[in-house]
Amino acid sequence: MKKIISLAVASTLTCGITFAKEIKVGAVMPMSGPIAQYGQVCYLGLELANKLQPTLKNGDTIKIVLADNKGDKVETATATTRLISSDNVVAILGALTSTNTAQTIAIAEKKKVPVIASVATNDKLTAKREYANRVCFTDSFQGEVVANYAISQGYKTAVVVVDQAQVYSLGLAKAFEHAFKAKGGKILEKIKVTSGDKDFKAVVSQIKQLNPDFMFLPLYHPEASMIARQSKQLGVNKPMFSGDGVANQTFIDLGGDAVEGYMFTDFFDYTNPPSKTSADFVAFHEKETGKKEVNSFTALGADTYNILIDAMNRCEDPTDSVCINQKIKETKNFDGVSGMISIDKEGNSTRSAVIKEVKDGKMVYKATVNP
């Protein structure tokens, strides 16, 4: 009897060694709450990328462990800690907004777990952090793109409405102001609002009185859509421009007619896939979801996953987080879904931006801006 048991134990052990391992990768995303839209489309990207490429070169399978942060800072911290300490993930993808990603990075940094942010654009996120990386551009680049556009259209004066509760908004506003002033533009007023506000009639009346050439609204879609609607109601007809925070269908649903002509910067346009990898992903997306439109957050979500897998493949031990982190930072000219991505030593990526406009309730591609 003893022999049989020991034989059984031995055989299971050897089997365990020869069988491929399952490696866990964490994802922190707002799947519910006010900005759930972002998390849901971004997570779709992870899921699809995972379906396309479920294993590493050595045969290990990748399992994504999802934690919902409800778009909240405290929930993000809890979720990150849980993923690292109880799920033992080798890396964390996401946290979406800059405010929340900052929380994730702060915790992961201490535990030496690499983070790849999908759409967190705040400049300071990766500063002095060794384990922070991103696939999106930074706000200073995005702000400059908007400022250049405004100047090229002959707009001389601007009003900026900034959401003081969001790091993303503050950073983007600052970058725009800096670039716009440097090119001879004038900021007439900077009006502060708080996310969650619904009534912007006082703000819009203020803008009407100031009569700027251009409105820059570095906000998320719930606030930006309300400002657009109330501007229409109060008869303010100025060109409105936002960052990537409004690049989703909910923005158009909430804004209705009022967001016609609204412009924004984005990362990716599915109607102009920059490479074959990208076109293939768009096709796969349509096959899986039945929808042609690929949200840019979905593309970036897929890229966080693909770059991570690429880095893991280049490590001898794909669970060695120090090595993974180093390889992520050595990513050069990676053929991503959202375009060519290179990641530098600071963890920031060099990539192009896309300018889009809302036309007939659709996001329409206008131009690609290279760094």
Partner 1 sequence: MDVLTFFQQMVNGFSLGSMYALIAIGYTMVYGVLRLINFAHGDIMMVGAFLGYTFMEVFQLPFTLSILLAVVVSSLLGIFMDKIAYKPLREAPKISLLITAIGISFFLENAFTVFAGGVPRAFPVPSYMENVINVANITFSVSSITVPLVTLVLLLGILYVLYKTKYGMAIRALSFDIKTVNLMGIDANLIISIVFALGSALAAVGGLFWAINYPSVEPMMGVLVGLKAFAAAVVGGIGSVTGAVIGGFIIGFTEVVVIAFFPELGGYKDAFAFVFLILVLLFKPTGIMGEDLEKSRF
Closer residue to partner 1, CB minimum distance, 199 or 330: 199
CB 43 within 8 A of CB 31: yes
CB 270 within 8 A of CB 282: yes
Task: Return the residue matching tokens 């022999």.
Answer: 3
- Closest distance of CB 37 from partner 1, Å: 5
Residues found near partner 1 in the complex (CB under 8 A): 30-34, 36-37, 40, 70-71, 162-165, 189-194, 196-199, 201-203, 205-206, 208-209, 222, 225-226, 229, 232-235, 250, 253-254, 256
Residues paired with residue 116 on neighbouring β-strands, in sequence order: 93, 133
Closer residue to partner 1, CB minimum distance, 10 or 202: 202
Closer residue to partner 1, CB minimum distance, 361 or 371: 361
- Closest distance of CB 102 from partner 1, Å: 19
Beta carbons within 8 Å of 61's beta carbon, 6+ residues apart: 20, 21, 22, 23, 54, 55
Q: How far apart, in whole angstroms, are the C-alpha atoms of residue 207 and residue 9?
A: 75
**How far is CA 98 from each of CA 103, 168, 262, 340, rounded to the nearest angstrom?**
9, 6, 23, 22
What are the backbone dihedrals phi and psi of residue 87, each rounded to the nearest 5 degrees, phi first?
-95, -10
- Closest distance of CB 191 from partner 1, Å: 5
Closer residue to partner 1, CB minimum distance, 202 or 364: 202
- Closest distance of CB 198 from partner 1, Å: 4
Q: How far apart, in whole angstroms, are the C-alpha atoms of residue 241 and residue 224?
A: 10
Determine the Cα angle at 326 with ends 323 and 328, to 5°: 110
- Closest distance of CB 34 from partner 1, Å: 6
Closer residue to partner 1, CB minimum distance, 33 or 239: 33
Closer residue to partner 1, CB minimum distance, 198 or 287: 198
- Closest distance of CB 30 from partner 1, Å: 8
Task: Return the residue matching tokens 């799920």.
Answer: 87
Beta carbons within 8 Å of 164's beta carbon, 6+ residues apart: 170, 192, 193, 194
- Closest distance of CB 227 from partner 1, Å: 11
Closer residue to partner 1, CB minimum distance, 257 or 316: 257
How buried is 326 (Cβ within 10 angstroms: 0-12 exposed, 13-18 middle, 19+ buried)? Answer: middle
